[in-house]
Structure 1
């Protein structure tokens, strides 16, 4: 057969696509290996995944959804997926959590493909994927049956399908991809309500980018309206189920509640932003080499500003008794416990992973890296010549329209619904930040930082960033190992007490152990947030010594 002129081009494109796919698979396998190295095996609840595991267990046994008065998330397909593993392997906490491994692998692979489709270079996409997949928060969620990771998976899947919609050359193909995005997001969003922001925000953003294709725009619009109706009907069904906890919404707010809402977000908002900077620190560290190109005067001013801000913040926090909360990691949960005080849930015991002598340098490193980044950003924004360069790049148009409205909606929903923001709630924001930072770095910083191919740069990423990523990975593996080892020891101690003849209801085994005891004995958690059935909650007076 005669060879055409375009044959070598197509073969080269196929080879590149295979390389990109293999990179995503390698990242997913590396995440899996690190996760298993931490030995996340525990036949007891982990944090509050016992509630969702119970829902999966009951569904496997009865074929019915049964909530239990705890979380305000719908669980949805995640319960069905966990129930499948119960049917195949028999019930145990480990078997149900095993169902999250394919979800975590798919999430890592999808994120890599998303970076590639946003035209992030191969090396940068590899690095960015590892920053997400090896982060302490992602790996801890991959080891659990919590809904945070399925929520992220729902978002990434919708974003990827929207990218495929925009890349389709014909209207029928684009409509097919858009339909898959809508249907899959309506279904996958049932695990965690924030997942529905894909169909509620990303899909209309995609349609706006396709508004010049009138037929596709109107057909997609009709599908979107139908999907919004499906989301609200599904949410209504969930809210009618017994022992389901409703999320707070504005119509529940009185004047006092609104004041508390504003004060709470004024306190938690800055901490969430700082914690997000910590989560993307390996990417922020790529700006550190820019400090060498600064003039001595500018570097001195930057250093002085950082020192003054840090000392001022520490003095203020110290004099007001808030020093602990204004140092890294800022938000409660995974990063810190791997050691938030009391996260071990053992009565009378408190864990602290870092002392002040460790947390202060980490805080300074995060703030210093962020200051260099923002200084570079403001300098480029001040140069009007850069504006045409930014607007001329098609990927930036897609990035901004697809993920910025979504991020605004996500953070808005989080501030409205979450009484307390945990670091694991920032998984989606971490993914978005990685995309934005890597895209900006690749387009506008890389030519400056490595004009001659410096040896201290791997694939355009400075060695300091790879070092920070390595430290993050070590912390993730060690933290998961110690967390699960502690909980296994706690479970062994409780079982030893039971073998001595003490009934389970008389054992205070910690939050997860005691919650499962209450579910086994009473069928649900005695939670004052239960509205259906109306008389389910029973107020129990606490002993005076508690």
Structure 2
């Protein structure tokens, strides 16, 4: 009984997570998005006994592949097994978010609510039901951040050692792990006394990660395991920095405004709650001007939510990768929400993001007035700046924003034990219910469509139609025909039959397929020739 009482919040989160898994249903031996490539590496390792990273991405990836291998070695290879491996890390991420909120001395109500809000975030929930690298990287990011935060609070070496471990793990998934020790180093210099002991703590994670990355790269290169595009994003980052021009600056601001709108909308109840504590002169005018200006810009350039590739799409989650959608990963099958709806959603997100700007203003004002700023607030702010800046320069996907959602909660709510009033709770729970409904239905529909798609494809192959005469979508083509030896491998597919969401007048309909759809509209796609 003591155990149940002590861990009642964590067990409640686990039960809710399992309930969502049961409702959505993760079963299905098919790839989603880019996870065909990661699954192919796991399959090669499981069945042939050697590591092979295919030339599709530019990540380190090894940690992700071996995590999947751990499960397929026990249960056999399938994308269902790989999906479960991600779902486990998804829950570990939620535990990390909750423990981080507790460490930041956030009220129990807000810690639980904030964790659940991150759980039903459509980007997080969708990726948890895939074998993409985003959830594993998000998981180790949160735990690295947690232990760095604990090191700042306790002035102890032990959490730093744990943080280093998670930095190593993160680096074996993505090179972006470089930002974590840099964030800690900057935070230590800004918030702690500059003595020899603190300097050693500050530089230890960065120095050890440098050594680890050099050893890792040497081993990978010696065994010819690096992808051809390895570190290509870093090269693009340096090139863009060297050749800054007007277009790049405009693009950076565009990405920044969209990121703020995403963070603002998907955390709207939390942002709006904490916005009430800022009452400096002109704060109302500032909020109105920011909202009108940024929303107007995003409407003018056609980048209202959701305009970042490629998980949260027009009215659902994706990407939708059939032939008639493959060139536009942010569009869902019909019916779609009207443009006015998305403009309103964008305006809400932009207005909500004002809380972040106001808190940054308060933090800067405290520095000038020589007031003590909580080290976790500094850590969160530095993380935002260091983590987000490279993406603003080279391009950002919506899934790259995942670590920023819980960090925003810590940034705004550290040492805030204030509990919302009843009227605010009604608003917060209404938002949470709507978000849960949308995310659960969207992820369910995405998996349901894919189950029907791959069943249809298997039936076509079983009927004697050659695979290269079927255009079944991006994942189907890449899984079956991707080749490192053949330069234009996609030309192997000369489709006679194509799956589409909506036939054109020029296409002859061969068969209609249906799938179980919970969001508005009919669950239908077509085989045409």
TM-score when scaled to structure 1?
0.76
Computing the radius of gyration over CA atoms, which structure comes out larger, 1 or 2? 1
Moved more, 328-337 or 73-82: 328-337
Aligned runs of 1:216-231 on 2, under 5 Å?
217-218=199-200, 221-222=203-204, 224-231=206-213
Residues 85 and 303 (structure 1), Cα distance of their counterparts in 2 relative to 1, 3 Å cut: closer
Is 1:271 aligned with 2:258?
yes
Counterparts of 1:378 and 1:200, CA distance in 2: 20
Query: For 2:311, which of 331, 334, 338 is the aligned residue?
Result: 334
Moved more, 488-497 or 57-66: 57-66
Is 1:455 aligned with 2:422?
yes
Residues 374 and 212 (structure 1), Cα distance of their counterparts in 2 relative to 1, 3 Å cut: closer
Is 1:344 aligned with 2:329?
no
Aligned runs of 1:458-497 on 2, under 5 Å?
462-497=425-460
Deviation of 1:59 after TM superposition, in Å, equals 1.6
Aligned runs of 1:354-373 on 2, under 5 Å?
354-371=337-354, 373=355
Residues 525 and 49 (structure 1), Cα distance of their counterparts in 2 relative to 1, 3 Å cut: farther
Counterparts of 1:209 and 1:378, CA distance in 2: 16
Deviation of 1:313 after TM superposition, in Å, equals 4.3
In structure 1, the residue corresponding to 2:471 is in which secondary structure? coil
Deviation of 1:95 after TM superposition, in Å, equals 0.8
* Aligned residue pair count: 483
Moved more, 195-204 or 53-62: 195-204
Counterparts of 1:307 and 1:198, CA distance in 2: 32
TM-score when scaled to structure 2?
0.78
Q: Provide, for residues 463-483 of structure 1, a one-character-per-residue CA deviation record: whole Å limited to 9, x for no partner.
A: 212211221111110010011
Query: For 1:406, which of 356, 370, 383 is the aligned residue?
Result: 383
Residues 24 and 516 (structure 1), Cα distance of their counterparts in 2 relative to 1, 3 Å cut: same
Deviation of 1:21 after TM superposition, in Å, equals 4.0
Aligned runs of 1:165-176 on 2, under 5 Å?
165-168=151-154, 174-176=156-158
Contact 2:308 2:396 in 1 (8 A): yes
Aligned runs of 1:87-486 on 2, under 5 Å?
87-168=73-154, 174-202=156-184, 205-206=187-188, 211=193, 214-215=196-197, 217-218=199-200, 221-222=203-204, 224-235=206-217, 237-238=219-220, 240-241=224-225, 243-246=227-230, 247-250=232-235, 253=239, 258-259=244-245, 261-286=248-273, 309=293, 312-313=296-297, 317=300, 322-323=301-302, 326-336=303-313, 339=316, 343-349=319-325, 351=332, 353-371=336-354, 373=355, 391-392=371-372, 396-400=374-378, 402-416=379-393, 418=394, 420-439=395-414, 442=416, 446=418, 454-457=421-424, 462-486=425-449
Residues 387 and 209 (structure 1), Cα distance of their counterparts in 2 relative to 1, 3 Å cut: closer
Counterparts of 1:439 and 1:403, CA distance in 2: 10
Counterparts of 2:346 and 2:151, CA distance in 1: 41
Moved more, 86-95 or 327-336: 327-336
Contact 1:51 1:70 in 2 (8 A): yes
Deviation of 1:114 after TM superposition, in Å, equals 0.8
Which runs of 5 or more structure 2 residues have no equivalent in the other structure?
326-330, 495-529
Could you say which structure has the greater relative contact order, defined with CA pairs below 8 angstroms and 6 or more residues apart? 1
Residues 503 and 89 (structure 1), Cα distance of their counterparts in 2 relative to 1, 3 Å cut: same
Contact 1:162 1:206 in 2 (8 A): no
Counterparts of 1:75 and 1:216, CA distance in 2: 33
Which runs of 5 or more structure 1 residues have no equivalent in the other structure?
1-14, 527-535
Deviation of 1:78 after TM superposition, in Å, equals 1.6
Residues 82 and 311 (structure 1), Cα distance of their counterparts in 2 relative to 1, 3 Å cut: closer
In structure 2, the residue corresponding to 1:99 is in which secondary structure? helix
Residues 149 and 390 (structure 1), Cα distance of their counterparts in 2 relative to 1, 3 Å cut: farther
Deviation of 1:307 after TM superposition, in Å, equals 8.4
